[in-house]
Structure 1
Amino acid sequence: MDLFSRSLSDLLDTVSGLTDDDFVRPSGCDGWLVRDLVCDLVVDAQDVLITLVTPTADPVTHDAVSYWKVAHERSEDPLAALTVRLAAAYGEPWLLKHHVDDVGRAAVRAAQLADPTLKVSTQDMVLCTSGYLGAYVWEWTLHHLDLVAHLPHLAGPPADTLARCREMLDRIAGPFPAAWSDVDVLLVGTGRRAPAERERAALGDLRVPVVLG
């Protein structure tokens, strides 16, 4: 749960440092500008707030790793086009920055106040709050990498959240080569960067990309 707060807080700090010009630069999400990605963070933070107040007495069915559905090819997301239109509707970047900081900081506070043993329901799954928030470390960390993909002057995600996400990906699809950095594992493993020839050889029978949704 501490990693949830750290990963989201660091991501929000990075968003706060964006300039207006940064918002129209490409992000690491294929086809999305930085403003589209930031708009998606608004939706994600709202989802967290909704889920944290959706308790259930049903038995736990998933944890932080099994929360993610695995595929090897990207499918069309029906909400992707809506996100782009919504991002453009903000008009001024400062409005989007204000909104994501508002709901994002609220999600951080809600996570810090949450009972880690409380069971919550989302997307036909039941998780302990700690497991649900642990799953979102993946979301914040990967999107932090997406945010700075073409903005190298900005800080990337914290080392401990990168290490946690690498551990998750190793459990889902790995293990990846031990000599690789956490960033390389996440970028190559999720298809954000094509492996170089020497990296492809080191992958062996590992099937990439691993698409989680």
Structure 2
Amino acid sequence: MSPELLRSTYGALSATVSDLAPEEGWQPSGCAGWAVLDLTLHLVDDARRGLVALATPAGGPPTTDAVAYWRSWRPTAGQDADTAWRTRVRASATTGLPELAPVYAELVAAVGVAAGRTRPDELLGTQGWVLPAGDLCSTLAVEAAVHHLDLVAHLDRPGPPAAALAEVRRVLEGLLGAPLPAGWDDVTAARRGTGREPLTDADRAALGQVAARFPLFG
């Protein structure tokens, strides 16, 4: 994936974060149990991880790629609850969105510069994995796009760019090994493919046996 798509995905999300009023930090997000402020702290963490990864060359061969990376992301309910609790504690120790929004803006700008300086096939390390820079950029953009939908789930704000949502769909179909239902637009694909929305009876009929594999990542 090109650095330009990552930059546009991060840029749109950062603009939305910067536009939020301080009091909106305690509005619910699309992540169960997470407020907007909690999610914003997570976004800061993920952009920081991306910046570190882009400066962490790794020896080959690759151990994952833009699709396979997500197969390992299946936290248990207990792990989800623990992460939500720890994130809330940390978020509560900040002064809120006015503190986090400029930090996030600085980080995503730095990630964009670093991504532009790497070759797509350059091997990098993150979270114990080795993958090409282009694939790393995809994983960062996919997470940012899904969380952009989470951020605005209960707010009157624009969602992620169309190209970012198309990348989410591409990854979900790669995980499934088959096309998602043609009647799903890319927002629906992102939400249902990651368990943000339940499958309907019609979805299950269209998907057949593979419906049991949903969510494809959470």
Q: TM-score, normalised by structure 2?
A: 0.89
In structure 1, the gaps of 5 or more residues are none
Quickly say closer, same or farther: Cα 1:154–1:53, change in 2 above 3 A: same
- Shifted more, 74-83 versus 30-39: the winner is 74-83
Match of 2:161 among 158, 162, 176: 158
Structure 1 residue 87 corresponds to structure 2 residue 88: no
Q: CA RMSD in A?
A: 1.8
The C-alpha deviation readout for 1:147-167, integer Å capped at 9, x for no partner, is: 11111x200011111111111
Distance of 1:84 and 1:27 partners within structure 2: 13
Distance of 1:121 and 1:168 partners within structure 2: 20
Partner in structure 1 of residue 135 of structure 2:
131
Distance of 1:115 and 1:106 partners within structure 2: 16
- Shifted more, 13-22 versus 110-119: the winner is 110-119
Partner in structure 2 of residue 65 of structure 1:
67
- Shifted more, 27-36 versus 15-24: the winner is 15-24
Partner in structure 2 of residue 17 of structure 1:
19
Structure 1 residue 109 corresponds to structure 2 residue 113: yes
Q: Is the 8 A contact 1:74 1:211 kept in 2?
A: no
Partner in structure 1 of residue 217 of structure 2:
211
| Equivalent position SS for 1:104 | helix
Quickly say closer, same or farther: Cα 1:171–1:149, change in 2 above 3 A: same
Show the 5 A alignment for 1:46-61.
46-61=48-63
In structure 2, the gaps of 5 or more residues are none
Distance of 1:107 and 1:81 partners within structure 2: 28
Q: TM-score, normalised by structure 1?
A: 0.91
Deviation at 1:70, TM superposition (A): 4.7
User: What code does the residue aligned with 1:209 have?
Assistant: P
| Equivalent position SS for 1:60 | coil
User: What code does the residue aligned with 2:193 have?
Assistant: G
Deviation at 1:96, TM superposition (A): 1.4
Match of 1:170 among 155, 168, 173: 173
By percentage of residues, which structure has more helix?
2
Deviation at 1:210, TM superposition (A): 2.0
**Number of residue pairs aligned between Structure 1 and Structure 2:** 211
Identity of matched residues, %: 37
